Structure 1
């Protein structure tokens, strides 16, 4: 048990936790992670990534990559999000994360209330699972650290948009930057603020 009270999911099976980050932002891929923890090497401090400081997330991400039995990242691109919608893209990213695991899980625990199609094993959806189950918490941390790093890299290319600060979400700063500097290839053109900006440019 961790200090936050998150237990390993005792199913007697090789269990992967799966979570995603990036459904709401106006820019960037949606990123999912799948993690199979080692019950013999518990990691203290696992929790919903949103409830952890950036420093703590980075430290835990290093521990997870070091001590977990398997870690995998899956994603759906901005183009795929625009083509198939964000919900389906999120499910696709989760499936890709599971498919990328070097150990085949016997059970997948999915954060939320929907189970992606095409998983290679039985799965269970757990609402707010990232705050309840260690495997899902670990996946949420890996997904967030990965996506945040990508937004920081995008910030270096386009500092005028402030991606390092808002991570692509539709903050006032981001919306103002859209109006001032226009739409980037990394923006989701099916999302209303971006779609509206493109429509205004065409007028």
Structure 2
């Protein structure tokens, strides 16, 4: 299977899992935050919001134990050329991110929570033929966006970091999930830049 087809299937699977999880999770949740309208200074010290995150992550861990994208893809012999990983963000890292964006927001203007807390579940695909198929992948992502399967995407070409990021989001009350698409030639520098970016959040 070619890389564009694999990415298309992967996005559809993430979308399906996100809808299944969020439909169940949102129906059980007692709180209601519009993550596109709420900013980080609004929720930084909001006990209700932090309790919601604790519950969300705990439920997500249980859900992904039986729905691991990484396991389902890497167990299939037809995909040896693709590295596919999934991970769930830990609460400590989430809180650090909230502090970072609240501090940043206080210096500029409101940053929607959905923009910063957009990867409680993160999936990454690394392949040797991403860069040579970049135009086809971008066409695919635009189609997925028009079909409302992904909410947004962009190609981040920032210094030594080169990757496509795209997001699945049921609605403005649901936390987005992220898919990163890397070419193997950028893997080493991307990880190094990611580590640098994470250290920037330790601003105090």
The question of a shared fold, defined as TM-score above 0.5 by the shorter chain, is answered with no
Higher relative contact order (CA 8 A, sep 6+): 1
- What TM-score results when the alignment is normalised by the length of structure 1? 0.28
- What TM-score results when the alignment is normalised by the length of structure 2? 0.28
